[in-house]
Amino acid sequence: MYPILEKRLLAEGIWLMKVLAPRVARSAQPGQFVIVRADEHGERIPLTISDFDAAEGSVTIVTQAIGASTRKICALNEGDALADFAGPLGHPSEFVKMPVEELRKRRYLFVAGGVGTAPVYPQVKWLREHGVKADVIIGAKTRDMLIYTDAMRAVAEHLHIATDDGSEGFKGLVTALIGELIEKEGRHYDECVAIGPMIMMKFVALTTKKYALKTTVSLNALMVDGTGMCGACRVTVGGRTRFTCVDGPEFDAHEVDFDEAMRRQGMYRTQEQRAAAIEAEREAGHVCKIGLDK
């Protein structure tokens, strides 16, 4: 069992949990993920690591309650425990393996959207600790949906906020703000890292391609089982079939077939909605037997 040390509401339906998992914390690196189960009957949920503290033995995850399984995780409180917390899984971010001297000559731009802001944080934090400068754009529909702004401001060289409705920061999409920084302000970046909704990552990739700016995206949202056994996270990258959980979760954004990835993601969204309906039936006292009932 893995005790929850801290639970905090970040925005509507989005919860931060700090979990006691010493072995995972000692081995974790930016870009990796864990597999979480609320209880022994729960579904396996892959979540990107949002922070880790080897000395404390803790790993931080951020979960959005969007369906039956994620709502079950978010319903747990401080003092409760998760049944499983397996990891760290997946490959670390590419820059972790680069010589520090080479890294310090580079400048990164991170583009974060929604819950994807959380896994951006440990990457920017790691770079800061190694003397590497990184600018960050956080995008959201409205200021009420912004998360990690204070934490990100502490580790980023410059933090930029973009909201669709203009309630905070730049009014417009993150892609428009990228153009502002590069074209109007003359900012130079060696690499962009984008993590967030699939549609956002697609258009960030299209935007950065115009500037010949190398771009990396995390496709964690595609994963179901997280071990490579189910094959559900197949994605075409550079014309080849790759598996997000074992080959990623990070890939070259300019080689990802985002349209295929979004179609696959849409199939799982439908399943999650059905699972949520099953859970509602249970809560109402009606037992329902459906193939997807977990």
48 is in an annotated binding site: no
288 is in an annotated binding site: no
The DSSP secondary structure of 104-168, one letter per residue, reads TT-EEEEEEEGGGHHHHHHHHHHHHHTT-EEEEEEEESSGGG--SHHHHHHH-SEEEEEETT-SS
What number of other Cβ atoms are within 10 A of residue 188's Cβ?
Answer: 10
132 is in an annotated binding site: no
CA separation for the pair 131, 104 (Å, rounded) = 6
CA angle 15, 290, 40 (to 5 degrees): 45
Q: Is 289 helix (H, G, I), strand (E, B) or coil?
A: coil
192 is in an annotated binding site: no
CA angle 234, 238, 241 (to 5 degrees): 25
233 is in an annotated binding site: yes
Backbone angles phi, psi at 164, to 5 degrees: -60, -40
State the binding site for [2Fe-2S] cluster. 230, 233, 245
List, as residue ranges, the binding site.
62-64, 230, 233, 245
Cite the annotated binding site for FAD by residue number: 62-64
